[in-house]
Chain A
């Protein structure tokens, strides 16, 4: 069944879009990633104009994150305080990111830069996480406790604060910096930033994996909510019909994802996320390296009526 999207001005197969939303929702609930890094390229692939895909993707992520966060809230695995502090940093970073984005746009190579950003960050994050979680999995099989709570320079910084849910007593500076960095990438790459936020919380801040997922989702709601509003007002590229199709699949998927996530061990969860990130990275890298079948591309310069 085909549905005509009023803002994107294309017709799409409703079941295909429902399926896409569902798949991304499962991942969202499982790993605490918004799924934007998967959803946005997939929407390009089915023919949605890039500007609409980015804006509507953000809106769909709000829905699946709300669904996921509620499931996590019930299990008390959301560190609201940490989320708010990450968000404060995020706002600063996003503002900076928009400035960088507009500068690159004036140079005319923003598409390439965004793709390179994806390849580099997905590659680094995926690779590191894969190696680490493989080691952790091997250790836990041998029965040795995973030693992850070593004291580092992070614990020597001032402005300490207690994060009860995470069981942490650390300075507020690292969370603000992490938030700012992710916020910057969010603005440039057009994603929620969960795939960077999750490993950053685990490895840089030392938060327990179970809390990380819920907290990341909470943080993503705020970021993508603001992004949706911004796109709706400045570019008018949020397609509600597309969003509804995506989120119908997404919210149901997120519920399943959260339950699957609860069944798996933390190390297994991290390995799966690492593999997924590496896979997307490899796909994007191949697109850059292999000769495309169509060397020309069209972009109508349609003025907003």
Chain B
């Protein structure tokens, strides 16, 4: 009675899925904080983990893994140029309410296969869904969000990397995400989804903290807390450097 078995199994798995995830994620990160120093030029983070389960591997559909890392959200103004009286000027603009400053998705299979559209909508996983633009009244606001995605993808801030999560025996997974040098500070939300047949069976969230350290931290804080002192410091450095160069060259010439 193979049919009965399949039905029973699916009922079983449904039961488990509602009660407690039958498959849980045990996660490891090569680093859970990124320190921005003066010579920071990007970072590669290794995300790896294992699937913990009490029962044998379900035989329904193969396990897939989706990993996302998302930088702090911020509103973005997108402007469009058109030709007016012979010159190109910004004529239209749409404020996108909230777009992550950095967003990377890595999957173990083609995206549409790894996650269904319904699940994508619920968890806002794809790049398109991670950008929030509500209440924009201008007609055709989608082309502005499309432009936002295109420009950020070209600059490496947004990326969808299909088939870059390696999955062994439906149990061990790992992927490497590279982050560009132009990171802004904040908490980078990291999410891992386990899916079967496009449905999310388990997910896990953690945070990678990106912070300025050392001199970068000191200067940033000074500029915010003691702006007058910071300004004087900037002028002083400028004056000393100018004087130093003049004096230095004078010495060279006099010799």
Contact = CB atoms under 8 A, between A and B. Distances in A.
Contacts of B235: 59, 62, 225, 228-229
Contact of B246 (A1, A2, A255, A296): A255
Contact of B234 (A243, A251, A297): A243
Contacts of B244: 251
Contact of B39 (A4, A225, A290, A291): A4
Nearest to A11: B181
Given A6-B219, A228-B235, A294-B151, A301 B95 contact: yes
B42 to A, nearest CB: 8
A62 B74 CA distance: 34
A38 to B, nearest CB: 18
Interface string B82-93: 110011111000
Interface string A138-164: 000000000000000000000000000
B212 A6 contact: yes
Contact of B77 (A292, A299, A304): A299
Interface centre among A4, A69, A289 (most CB of B within 10 A): A4
B223 A7 contact: yes
A10 B242 CA distance: 26
Contacts of A1: 39
Contacts of B224: 236, 304-305
A9 B95 contact: no
Interface string B219-255: 1100110011011111101110111111101100000
A70 B243 CA distance: 7
A292 B89 CA distance: 10
Interface in B65-89: 74-83, 86-89
Contacts of A62: 235, 238-239, 242
Interface in A259-305: 287-292, 294-302, 304-305
Interface centre among A59, A247, A248, A290 (most CB of B within 10 A): A247
B38 interface: yes
B242 A233 contact: no
A301 B181 contact: no
Contacts of A65: 242
A166 interface: no
Given A63-B238, A66-B239, A251-B242, 15 more contacts: A2-B41, A6-B212, A6-B217, A6-B223, A9-B182, A63-B241, A70-B247, A232-B228, A244-B241, A251-B244, A292-B88, A296-B147, A298-B76, A298-B148, A301-B75
Interface of B: 36-42, 74-83, 86-90, 95, 101, 144, 147-148, 150-152, 181-185, 212, 215-217, 219-220, 223-224, 227-228, 230-235, 237-239, 241-247, 249-250
